[in-house]
């Protein structure tokens, strides 16, 4: 029994050490922890509620958005140095997603909106586009005019 307890503490210490090294090396963005997240299930319930106090924001490139996006989402492509917040409303909760492995574009967009333009109601959608599609939740394509 003592061996198992000791192994757990060693494993915990190892995980902390690896995360710390990754953080120092820049593999894990420091600002990632500063952005709140919403689960796909939460977002789906919000959509079904028909409330209008939120906006889903697709941070993927415009061409990817056109091929498919979360139903009702607006396109706001990620940029490492956003020059403007566009027409994104400050009075609504912005739910931002991308399709990156670690949601880095969505997190970067959320962080920039908070830091540069004072947005306070910003979350990313856990799992992003792939997670949403995997769950079979509503999507749509850009309608050609």
- Helix, strand, coil abundance in the chain, percent, nearest 5: 45, 15, 40
What is the structure's pLDDT at 30? 46
Residues 9-42: tens digit of each pLDDT: 555 565 665 545 544 445 445 444 488 999 999 9
Which positions ≥6 away from 109 have C-beta within 8 Å?
A: 57, 59, 76, 78, 82, 96, 98
Residues 64-93: tens digit of each pLDDT: 999 999 999 999 999 888 898 999 999 999
Confidence grade of residue 101 (pLDDT, cut at 50, 70, 90): confident
What is the structure's pLDDT at 78? 93
Confidence grade of residue 145 (pLDDT, cut at 50, 70, 90): low
């Amino acid at each position: 029994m003592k061996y198992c307890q000791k192994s757990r503490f060693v494993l915990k210490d190892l995980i902390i050490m690896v995360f710390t090294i990754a953080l120092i090396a820049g593999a894990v963005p420091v600002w990632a922890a500063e952005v709140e997240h919403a689960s796909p299930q939460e977002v789906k319930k919000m959509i079904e509620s028909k409330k209008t106090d939120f906006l889903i924001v697709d941070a993927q490139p415009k061409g990817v958005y056109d091929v498919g996006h979360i139903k009702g989402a607006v396109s706001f492509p990620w940029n490492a140095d956003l020059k403007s917040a566009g027409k994104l409303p400050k009075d609504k909760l912005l739910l931002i997603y991308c399709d990156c492995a670690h949601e880095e574009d969505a997190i970067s967009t959320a962080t920039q909106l908070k830091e540069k333009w004072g947005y306070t109601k910003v979350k990313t959608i856990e799992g992003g586009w792939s997670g949403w599609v995997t769950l079979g939740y509503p999507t749509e394509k850009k309608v050609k005019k």
